[in-house]
Chains A and B, each alone.
Chain A
Amino acid sequence: MTAAAPEVLRLDRVGKRYPMGDTVVDALVDASFTLHEGEAVAILGPSGSGKSTLMHLLGFLDSPSSGEILFEGRPVAVITERQRAQIRAEKIGFVFQAFNLLPRLTVRANVALPLSYHGSPPADADARIARALALVDMTHRAHHRPGELSGGQRQRVAIARALVNEPRILLADEPTGNLDTKTAAAILDLFKELNRLGRTIVVVTHSPEIAGHFRRQLHVLDGRVKEGGAR
């Protein structure tokens, strides 16, 4: 990893506590690490280890109880809900285990969704949607609805949606969890290809095998984040 690459996200002793009944649960304790542009990182941990919490914090869907998160060097805590939504719309791409496509919209409309939340919709929106669909090889299904697609196809549409805003960082939460082995491998290849093209990628997974596909690994266990082996 080249240390000269610009920093995208930095966590500085980030903690997250949830009240649960009478007690509080520490989902994350003193997590500190930095993500640089062009990295491919796997966040590895068993279920309940706090990796989903970490993922939500990275995408500002949640706020930390302690510590500080900086996006492009700016502390996230001081910016408004609206600005955070705008960063999500313009600079972050999300891929979920359950795909999370909107069933009533066509593939194309699903992919177009993030662009509609841009402050000013880009002039080349149509070209971007076409490019994103072509990248995941889904152009021919653009006018179908998600219900008419297979799991792998749906995930490819979800990835196209995450890419359409040309994000600084792509966050994927168990992206292959609902897919069979072969389709999962194809999706992983797609991620690797995207990373080769320069995209910053963070994949959350419970599978060491999948994590093995990525150069840098962060292990999460009982809310603590440790740097794992880098290949």
Chain B
Amino acid sequence: MKRLFSGVINGLIEIWGHKLRSLLTICCVMLGVASMVLTTGFMEGFFKGWEVSLQEQGGLEKITGTPSSPSERQAPLAAVSRGFTPRDARALAELVPGLEIISPEIDAVRARLTRAGKSYDGRRGGRVQGVTNAAFEINRYELESGRFFSDLDFNDHASVIVIGGSVKKALFKPGENPLGEFVEMNGQPFRVVGVLKTYERLWGDFNTLYWKNDIAFVPLATMAAKVQRSDRLTGLNFKAPDVTRLRETLDAASNVLAQTHRGIIDFDVRTNEEQLASFASTKASFVIGGSAIAGVSLLVSGIGIMNLMLASINERVREIGIRKAVGATPFNIFSQFVAEAVTLSLIGGLAGVGVAVGLIQALSAMLPPGNGPLLAPSAFVVGFAFSVTAGVLAGVYPAIQAAKLDPIEALRYE
């Protein structure tokens, strides 16, 4: 330990002795480490954002059932099936083991919400859905104020509505409390009983979670009876009891639906797995790209350090001879030069981490919150390990050269 310390001190003296040269080498390492920590930070930020989006869409356990056109072979028989109906939901609950959260949904066709001269027509993909409370759970909606639906609402086909953040913004003045107020859907009055939280995750100016705000919900039964006048579902989502049983639940549900649809495959059930797969593969390619950048930086800093060390050894042949004459073993010389290289790269590494921290903080201040680069602790560890590795690897060869010098030749050297 004491030797290591004195090695570092020695290294510092040498570095101080060649200020400009050492500074340039330190810059090499600094840039390498900084670029690496920054890249890692951006990657962390990017994937964190993506992961949150994925979670907000219901996470991995969500299975989405949607109507689809039956195959050509079955097309003539398509009328045999009644399509998605609330009965499908009941059948799933009964027949698929472990399936508890099932969300039948009916989208309103061309719903237009108005109130006191203001209107919200959901042009930008906004929609009004008839749902049960399971929809809030599956899609992870939380209330800002008010309540979700009650059993009474379903039984009475009550004209109540839960509105999203964008709807509230479109129909109400800032500060106005929508609870208990009436809004009209295609002319029919609905009483607002709940307001959803406003979700925001910015990508530049763009809110990637906009679709969670552009929405309003009424009870499923109300939608069927009063708006659509049909109980045909536009979607049937459900949640596997846990991720490991995803495939099994998907298969069981497909079988049950095939049964209730009288063998007509006019539905499509899929999981979030495809998204996850693309998430994983993108992440993998980013990691490979990041590693390549890291590798090149490592190489460049390593070359810089090795170059400096070799030049320094050439200049210090005499010193090596003197040290050997007063009793330094080859290993002493070797460790002296490795310690110098490591000291050099450590300074560069610390400076690089510092620069990266500064840049990340500056960027986070400039970029909107939510998707800026993140300072992962792993980035520091990686940056540190990186610089030490570069120092050791680049120091070993010159150090071996130094240790091998013949003391007599070295002493004679002028």
Contacts and interface: CB of A to CB of B under 8 A. Distances in A.
Interface of A: 56, 59, 61-62, 81-82, 85-90, 92, 94, 96, 100-102, 104-105, 113-114, 116-118, 161, 165
B316 to A, nearest CB: 9
B332 A88 contact: no
A100 B411 contact: yes
B408 A105 contact: no
B322 A100 contact: yes
Interface stretch (B143-151, B214-222, B294-302, B323-331): B323-331
Contacts of A89: 326-328
B327 A117 contact: yes
Interface in B369-414: 407-408, 411
Nearest to B321: A100
Given A100-B318, A104-B14, A56 B408 contact: yes
Contacts of A101: 322
Contact of B326 (A56, A62, A81, A88): A88
B328 A85 contact: yes
Contacts of B411: 61, 96, 100
A90 B411 CA distance: 20
Contacts of A102: 319, 322-323
**Majority-rule SS of B interface residues:** helix
A104 B332 contact: no
B326 A114 contact: yes
Given A62-B408, A104-B13, A104-B14, A82 B327 contact: no
Nearest to A113: B326
30 contacts: A61-B324, A61-B407, A81-B329, A82-B330, A82-B331, A85-B324, A85-B327, A85-B328, A85-B329, A85-B332, A87-B327, A88-B325, A88-B326, A88-B327, A89-B327, A89-B328, A90-B327, A100-B318, A100-B411, A102-B319, A104-B14, A104-B17, A113-B323, A113-B326, A116-B6, A117-B323, A117-B328, A117-B329, A118-B327, A161-B326
A62 to B, nearest CB: 6
A203 to B, nearest CB: 16
A94 B325 contact: yes
Contacts of B407: 61
A105 B330 CA distance: 21
A5 B323 CA distance: 31
